A = this chain, B = another copy of it.
Amino acid sequence: MTKTYHHGDLHSALIDSGLKLLKARGGPESGQGKGEDLGLREVARDVGVSATAIYRHFPDKSALMLALAYEGIERLGRAQRKATQDAGGGPAGFLASGMTYVRFATDNPALFRLIFSHVPATSLLDAELDEVGTAMKGLREDIAHLMPKHLSDLERKAAALHAWALVHGLAELILDGHVAKDWGMVEKVLSGMLAREPRQ
């Protein structure tokens, strides 16, 4: 029995299923498929298609994973930009952006990890970046833009790294279950940094 998808529908069905399965794959607390990789056969099974059908749409497994990572990073970026804007920019926007980062991670543990486990080769020239690398670069630039203007380049770079590392660390520690998912505390920590560092 040959199932038929109209022009490229299976492609998006695979992405959708992948995202769904990654979402279901919760953090360590959910017993289900804790830290395991998403499988190619697993996605095919979920869509209801033979495993080999996937090869009509992606050259290999890693291409599928890359597409999922790309979709994930796009969503993260979108969510952060929206949060910044909704909060009206400035320090409040910066705080909202950080909270959104951590929230995204705890809402999508497996997707979050997939995004960051894709080796981006920091050292590549822009022209050599793949789509995930480019999206990651955009994310870094978004952070940089939130930094106060009066700082020197070096200071801004350090402040941006500080902010990124802080939210990333919080996300990872919560995902691994080493820190409680206490949003009041998370906000306190983030606004603590903010109150001192980026005075604008």
Contacts and interface: CB of A to CB of B under 8 A. Distances in A.
Contacts of A51: none
B117 A176 contact: yes
B122 A179 contact: yes
A62 B40 CA distance: 26
A79 B153 CA distance: 33
Contacts of A117: 35, 176
Given A119-B28, A177-B120, A178-B116, A168 B172 contact: yes
Interface string A158-188: 1101101111111111001111100001001
Given A169-B166, A169-B167, A161 B185 contact: yes
Contacts of A28: 119
A158 B196 CA distance: 14
